[in-house]
Amino acid sequence: MFAAQKLIQMWYDLKQKPCPRCGLPYDRRLHQQCPHCSHLSERETEDLRETTGNHSGSRGIPWSFLALAGIVMVIIFLLKQFV
Ligand SMILES: [Zn+2]
């Protein structure tokens, strides 16, 4: 059940392309315009990009996720040493 939901979410993410304006992903077959920023002004789009952390081209989230995974693995490794 949970795995199926995850697979559907993955498939849904695959169909989505990041918006060139705000950087948030959306399905271009469902939306002619980006649902996140099409109704916003240039200034408001800038604010949206800052709050979501999507600065042009930078991919901050995967790296911090990898760092977190690395820290968790080190903690598990250390715990195994003491057990
Ligand atoms: Zn957008």
User: Separation of 10 CA from ligand 1 center, angstroms?
Assistant: 20
Domains in the chain, number = 1
Helices (H), 1-83: 2-15, 42-52, 60-82
Ligand 1 center from residue 15 Cα (angstroms):
15
pLDDT at 16: 83
Cα 19 to middle of ligand 1, angstroms: 5
How does pLDDT run across 41-52, given as a tens digit for each residue? 999 999 988 888
In the chain, the amino acid numbered 65 is F
In the predicted model, is pLDDT for residue 58 greater than 70?
no
Distance 13 CA to ligand 1 centre (A): 15
CA of 78 to the centre of ligand 1 (A): 44
pTM equals 0.47
pLDDT in tens, 28-37: 888 889 999 9
pLDDT band at 69 (very low <50, low <70, confident <90, very high): very high
What percentage of the chain exceeds 70 in pLDDT? 89
Residue 72's Cα: distance from chain center in Å?
A: 20
- In angstroms, what is the span from residue 61 Cα to ligand 1's centroid? 18
Instruction: Provide the residue range defining the domain that includes 69.
Output: 2-82
